[in-house]
Structures are given as structure tokens and as C-alpha cells.
Amino acid sequence: MEDFSVFDIIGPRMTGPSSSHTAGAVRIAYIARRLIGTEVSRVHFTLYGSFAETGKGHGTDKALIGGILGFTPDDERICHAYEFAKEQGVQVDFTYSDEPADHPNTVKIEATDVNDRMTEVVGRSVGGGNILITEINELGVELSGEYPTLIVRHMDEPGVIAEVSHVLAQLNVNIAFMRVFRHGRGRDAYMCIETDTPVTKEMQTIIRQLCKGITELFAV
């Protein structure tokens, strides 16, 4: 039986009209923004399934723009997201795709940040404002965004995972969930580590310094 909080029933506070098509869309793009870690200069959204069919009437477009600007689902600026994007010089455009997707409410976000670095994130809105990030830079992941999450890109070799979890333990960060993904044996791999408490910027620096096999690290 699921352990509901009273605030799952009376809440969340959100910008309407739809928890899946609006609040969920904000969260996907917001997590993408956190992953990128800096301001975005250009972003292209590709909407699939029901997002593509009825997204506009639910303000899914504004929700995604809002999220990529760093707004959370209860931010009242979301309905003016186009104006805010323009003001901040963020170029946005959309493709409403007819192609089938694995899940009806799916979006692909291709963002270029102010350092000209490109990040691609695929996410789906799974209902009630809950989401799942399924791809980061073409690598399959599973990330709900419900807990503070550390995403570590590393070489697929023995000891890296043990090193990272050891450092987290020393920093007194408890791991709630952890999953490991890789492109292929001995190649690029990712760890998705969901923690009970956030991993601060200082902690991230320490992990980068102490853990050798790491190539990239994001915190959401």
C-alpha cells in the first residue's frame, strides 16, 4: 500500500490546468535546467503523444519554457513564460511530433547553454504531477526527481561505484535509491543516486576531487 502524505491529497500547490500536462511538464524541464546547471540560450522541445495532441490547450508549451527558465510548478510566472524567455534572450521552439512514443506524455528537450554546451533530456509525465526522466544525452536512465539526485558520469571500471558511495558515507549523506547505467562494457556509464539530503556544491567538489573515475557530475 502506498504511503500517502495528506499533502498528496490536499496539494500540491500548482499552476493549472493539468497535473500531468502542466505541473509534470514544468518539473521535467526544471530538472533539465538543474542538470544543465547554468542558463540556457537556445532550447528545442519535441512533444509526443498526448503532449503533442492537447498540450497547447493545457499550456504544456508555457510549462516547459517556465521549467527551463528555472520556475517550479507553483510559480505564477509560468503563464507568461514566453515573455520571460524573450526578456532573458532564450530562444525557444517546438515540434509537435506525430511519431509514436513509449509513453503518451513524452517530451524531448534539446538545450544549448550559455557555454555552447548541448544537453539532451527525454522525460515523461506519468500522472498526478509525477515524472520520470528516461534519457540524458542518449543514455537511458530512470530518475523521478522526488529526492535530491546526484548523477555521476564515470568510466565503467571496478571500484568507481564503491569510491563514490564511500565518499557520500563520509559526508554523512544517506543513499535512498541508486541505479547504474552504461553504454557498454568498459565504456561510459552513469550512476543515478537519490539521497535523503541534498548534496551541496562543496560536497560535489569533494566527490570530484576524491573519486578518480568520474568524468562529469550533476546534482538535481
Partner 1 sequence: MQLVDAFESGTKLCEYCTQESCTIAEAMIRREVSRGEMMRDAILKEMQENLNVMRESVRIGLEEHVETVSHLSGGEAMRLFRYAKYDPFSGGNTCRAAASAMAVCEVNSSMGRIVAAPTAGASGILPGVLIECGIERGWTDEQLVQGLFTAGAVGLLFAQNATISGADGGCQAETGVASAMAAAAIVELSGGTPEQSLDAAAMTIKNIMGLVCDPVAGLVECPCIKRNALGAANALLCADMVLCGITSLIPFDEVVSAMLQVGRDIRKEYRETAKGGLAATPTGKAVAEKVKRFQKYAGEY
**Site residues (CB under 8 A) for partner 1?**
1-19, 22-23, 50, 52-59, 62, 74, 76, 78-79, 82, 93-94, 96, 127-129
Q: Please, what is the minimum distance in Å from the beta carbon of residue 6 to partner 1?
A: 4
Yes or no: say if 107 and 45 are a contact pair by the CB < 8 Å rule: yes
Closest CB 21 distance from partner 1, rounded Å: 9
Task: Count Cβ atoms below 10 Å from residue 153 Cβ, excluding itself.
Answer: 17
For residue 19, give every residue at least 6 positions away whose Cβ sits within 8 Å of its Cβ, in sequence order, or none.
Answer: 12, 127, 128, 129
CA distance 123 to 43: 15
Task: Return the number of the residue (2 or 138) whose C-beta is nearest partner 1.
Answer: 2
Shortest Å, Cβ 27 to partner 1: 14
Nearer to partner 1, 6 or 202 (CB): 6
Distances (CA, A) of 142 to 122, 139, 178, 180, 213: 10, 10, 10, 10, 22
Residues 6+ apart with CB under 8 A from 186: 155, 156, 157
> Which residue number, 1 or 202, has a Cβ lying nearer to partner 1?
1
What's the min distance (Å) between Cβ of 82 and partner 1?
5
